[in-house]
Structures are given as C-alpha cells and as structure tokens.
Amino acid sequence: MVLHAFTHSEADMNRYAIIENGLVVNVVVGQPELNPGQTLVECPGAGPGWTYADGVFTEPVVVQPEPTPAPTKEELLAQLNALSAQIQALE
C-alpha cells in the first residue's frame, strides 16, 4: 500500500464548489489542483443546489407548497355515504 503525504496544511485548505452547467453539485475542501478536469470555484458559504453565474453564487429559493385544506363535514359525510353504498353493493 502506498500512502501519500500532502504538503498542504489544513489552514491552506479552502472550500470549493464543483460547478456543472451553472449549478453547484458538490462542495469540497482542498486545493483546486487536486481536482483536475472539474470546474472549482472558491466558495465560503455556497452549497449543493446553489447556482453560479457571472462570478456570483445564488442560494436556491425554497417554495413551500400550499397546505391542502381539511375536508369539510359535508365532504366527509358524502364520502362516508359513497363508501357505505359500495359496501352494501358487495353484500
């Protein structure tokens, strides 16, 4: 087994975003020369899901879905009646 000793101290390590098609797909800590063939951009705070364009990272917008309203008493009674009719039809 061959072990490699790195000459960079942890203080020299920076956070880099791996960018694919303008999207941050991952964040690594290290030196950019250790990741040939990947587009790495130093990013102190960005993370996966962020976008990167014109030198600027943009946090993703999280859209909260609208809550589904609870059924009314009338709707529940209609469902109960429909299910009761189905059960009676089986007998």
Residues contacting residue 7 through CB under 8 Å, at least 6 positions apart: none
Q: pLDDT (tens digit, 9 = 90+) per residue, 42-66?
A: 888 899 999 999 999 999 988 899 9
Residue 1 pLDDT greater than 50, yes or no? no
Predicted local distance difference test score (pLDDT) of residue 34: 57
pTM reported for the whole predicted model: 0.54
pLDDT, tens digit (0-9, with 9 covering 90-100), for 3-48:
444 444 455 568 889 899 999 999 888 766 655 667 788 888 899 9
Q: How far is 66 from 62, CA to CA, in rounded Å? A: 13
Q: Given 3-state DSSP classes, what are the helix, strand and coil percentages for the chain, each rounded to the nearest 5?
A: 25, 25, 45
Measured between alpha carbons, how far is 70 from 65 in angstroms, rounded to an integer?
15
Q: Give residue 38's pLDDT.
A: 74
